[in-house]
Amino acid sequence: MKNPLLNTGELGIFALGGLGEVGKNTYIYEIEDQIFIVDAGILFPDEHLLGIDYVIPDYTYLLENEERIVGLFITHAHEDHIGGIPYLLKKVNIPKIYASGIAVDLIEYKLLEHPDIKPPKIEEYKSHYKYSFKHVELSFIRLNHSIPDMFGFVFRTPQGILFHTGDFKIDFTPVGPAAEYDKLAAIGSEGVLCLLSDSTNAERDELIPSDSKIGKSINELFSRMSGRIIIATFASNMYRIQQIIESSVLNNRKVAVFGRSMERAIEAGMQTGYIKAPKDTIVSGEQVNRVKPNELTILVTGSQGEPLAALSRIANGSHRQIKAMPGDTVIFSSSPIPGNQEGINRTINKLFRLDVEVITHGPLADTHTSGHGAQQDLKLMLSLIRPKMFIPMHGEHRMLKHHKELAMDCGVKEENILIMDNGDVAAITQDSIRLAGKVTAGEVYIDGTGIGDIGSTVIKERKLLSEEGLFSVVLSVNTQTKKLVNEPTIISRGFIYMKGNEEITQSLANEAKKIVVAELGKKLYNELNLKQAVIDHLNQKIFDLTQRRPLVIPIVVDLKST
């Protein structure tokens, strides 16, 4: 089945996630009636999504068109690019996953946690590989990012070349392999029809420091420390983990690792050779207390203030093996993801209470650098690729807008640039780019093991409960005699404290009683009508009395004699 939004000879590009947000990156290329899925990420919820663990895209379109899917192609192994894979596989039949290097290991680990999935074959690509599909050739360009093995995708199509950058920054002194700038220049000379490029730092007009500079800075910090060092970073940042291990070795320190994702990342990094540590450098949790404080580095998860991560538990005093003590130095080798600052501040405050020295990234210490290029990097990419058409991706709406300005500065015509939202379909030919319409796109919430069984109504109710509380009234009736058997019982949770507010609760009980008597007196009694009448009436009365709107739940017990 062909996409009805596309005319003959047009190819389609759209996102199910990743536009207007930083997260759940899932991009779709429709070329010659084939569907190429690029990445399948998750979004970490902010505080308004109460109790939600992750957010994934709505996969309806892929489910309806699964016979046209040729594969899932992974640019790199960050959670906002691979975290949705298990949930996608539960819903949609994917013939093959294409991934490279460290991403293969981390996807395999992820799938082990979901034994109910029968995963497709994972095809490991390398940067010089080429794959041929019907009238489409896919090749790869290695770029630099904060995780190894990040690749941009080159689609050679009948209409022209499409280039999808993935996440990148320009780093001339990278910790890992160098980016393939020659390949970027080569496709630029050949002529690129459309570029899709990472917009995360499109607002930042500054130089993003090289990862190797951070290594030197960490080294310098370690050389000045006399007590234990507790350092938190992203588990996915293999290069940073390697730098921390190297600085520890240089300063005669052993390394202990805490946090499940950190342990897994180190295991995967050692298998792929990105993490190398001399024998006996890494010590187990049991051996920690046998190592002198000035000879120990503790590498932990929790750089974003996550409540259950190792660093948060150390700060709370609830970690089984590590107790923070005066003389310790905690280093945050990360920057806050938008929305996480409050959790990080809480953790830092608790650490200060424990008399611990805390160092965060700032003007005094370079402990972190972004994995995303700022304006100069984005302009260099645009100048090398010289695209005819441009779609900014991977970023909130204002970031996409800033990236559009940069593209125009670099010579892309304004009419050839599309700023889109998730679900918007770009239809492209050799000469034109247009907005063709929308496909189904939205947010699906994951809460515990449930996928999508919680909708926006439930979130609204949770918000209401958290802000306004619950007011419940228990009504015992006899539908045979059409009488109220007992006085209504009032239960209040998080709304008003019942002791001391007897007057309000009594008046509300009397109001409920009036409604029940009126409803029972009707010729056609219906329990649903009774409940709704109580809710409507009490909602208004409670608001008049208290200016608040708690969740009103009437409970009707029918005591008719059997």
Cite the active site residues: 198, 372
Q: Which residues pair with 325 in a beta bridge?
A: none
Q: Give the single-character DSSP code of 120.
A: P
Q: Which two tokens stand for residue 125?
A: 């690509």
Q: Where does residue 266 rank: exposed (0-12), middle (13-18), buried (19+ CB within 10 A)?
A: buried
Q: Which two tokens stand for residue 547?
A: 């200016």
Q: Which residues pair with 493 in a beta bridge?
A: 470
Q: What is the C-alpha separation between 117 and 81, in angstroms, rounded? A: 19
CA distances (Å), 329 to each of 225, 288, 332, 359, in order?
Answer: 8, 16, 10, 7
Sole residue written with tokens 């991934």 = 99
Q: What is the largest CA-CA distance in the chain?
A: 89
Q: Are 418 and 426 in contact (CB under 8 A)?
A: yes
Q: What is the C-alpha separation between 87 and 117, in angstroms, rounded? A: 9
Q: What count of other Cβ atoms lies within 10 Å of the Cβ of residue 361?
A: 18
Q: What count of other Cβ atoms lies within 10 Å of the Cβ of residue 448?
A: 10
- In this structure, the chain runs to a length of 562
Q: Are 232 and 330 in contact (CB under 8 A)?
A: yes
Q: Are 516 and 530 in contact (CB under 8 A)?
A: yes
Q: Are 555 and 473 in contact (CB under 8 A)?
A: yes
The amino acid sitting at 486 is N
Q: What is the C-alpha separation between 534 and 528, in angstroms, rounded? A: 10
Sole residue written with tokens 């939600």 = 52
Phi–psi pair at 493, nearest 5 degrees: -130, 115
Phi–psi pair at 15, nearest 5 degrees: -120, 140
Q: Strand pairing of 34-38 and 26-31? A: antiparallel
CA-closest candidate to residue 31, choices 139, 157, 131: 157
Strand order in the sheet with 389-393: 130-133, 136-143, 150-157, 160-164, 192-198, 389-393
Q: What count of other Cβ atoms lies within 10 Å of the Cβ of residue 98?
A: 25
Q: Which two tokens stand for residue 152?
A: 């941009």
Q: What is the C-alpha separation between 113 and 182, in angstroms, rounded? A: 40
Q: Are 173 and 212 in contact (CB under 8 A)?
A: yes
Q: What is the C-alpha separation between 21 and 260, in angstroms, rounded? A: 27
Phi–psi pair at 179, nearest 5 degrees: -70, 155
Q: Determine the Cα angle at 190 with ends 185 and 191, to 5°.
A: 95
